[in-house]
Amino acid sequence: MADPVLPTTDPVLGATRAMLENTYRFVALADETRRMLLKTQLKGVEDHLDTMQKTLRRFADAADWAAVQAAQAQVVSDQAQLQAELSRAYGKVFADAASAWFDQCRECGNDWTQRAQAANGAGNGEAAGIFGPLSTSLAEFYDRIGKMTPPFGTVPPAETPASPRARTH
C-alpha cells in the first residue's frame, strides 16, 4: 500500500488513488471467493466420481437381488451424503466471503479516514480541508456497512450482545 496520506498538492490524484486501491481490494476479494467456489465444486466432482466408481464395483459384485437392492439403497445414501457435504462446503465459502467483505469495508473506511485526516490536518486545529465532507460521508458509509451482520447469523465479537444472565437488574 502506498503512503497513508492523501497528497495536498494534488488532492484529486490522491483521492482517486485511494478509491481505486479500495476498489481493487474488493475485486481481489471477489476473485478469491470465486476461486474457493470453483475449488469446492471441483472437490464435489472428484468425490462424486469416487462414489460412482465404488457404486459400479458394488453392482458388479452383486450376486443376487438382495445385493442389487442393497447397492441401490447405498447409492441413495451416498448421494445424500455427498450433497450434504457439498452444501456445507458452499455454506462455509459464502459465510467466509461475507465476513471478509464486511471486514474489508471496515478496513477501507479506516484507511480512507486515516489518509483524509493526515491530508486535512485533522486534530491540528486546521480547517476540514477539501476532503472534509467526502471523508465524513465515506467514513459513515464504510462504518455502517462494516457493522452490518452477515446474513449467516454471525456477529462480530465486539458487537455480540450480552447474555441475559450477565445483565444485572
pTM: 0.66
- One-letter amino acid at 34 equals R
112 grid coordinates: 480512507
Q: How far apart are CA 139 and CA 142, in angstroms?
A: 5
Helices and strands in the chain: count of H runs, count of E runs = 3, 0
Asked if residue 91 lies in contact with residue 42, where contact means CB atoms within 8 angstroms, the answer is no
User: Count of CB atoms within 10 A of residue 13's CB?
Assistant: 11
Q: How far apart are CA 169 and CA 164, in angstroms?
A: 10
Contact partners, residue 145, CB within 8 Å, separation at least 6:
102, 105, 109
Q: Where do we find the cell 442393497?
A: 70
Residue spans per domain, the chain = 11-150
How confident is the model over 77-135, as pLDDT tens digits? 999 999 999 999 999 999 999 989 888 888 877 777 777 666 665 544 444 555 666 66
3 grid coordinates: 503512503
What Rg value do the Cα atoms of the chain yield, rounded?
Answer: 26
Q: How far apart are CA 117 and CA 136, in angstroms?
A: 10
106 grid coordinates: 471496515
How confident is the model over 15-68, as pLDDT tens digits? 788 888 889 999 999 999 999 999 999 999 999 999 999 999 999 999 999 999
pLDDT band at 169 (very low <50, low <70, confident <90, very high): very low
pLDDT at 127: 44
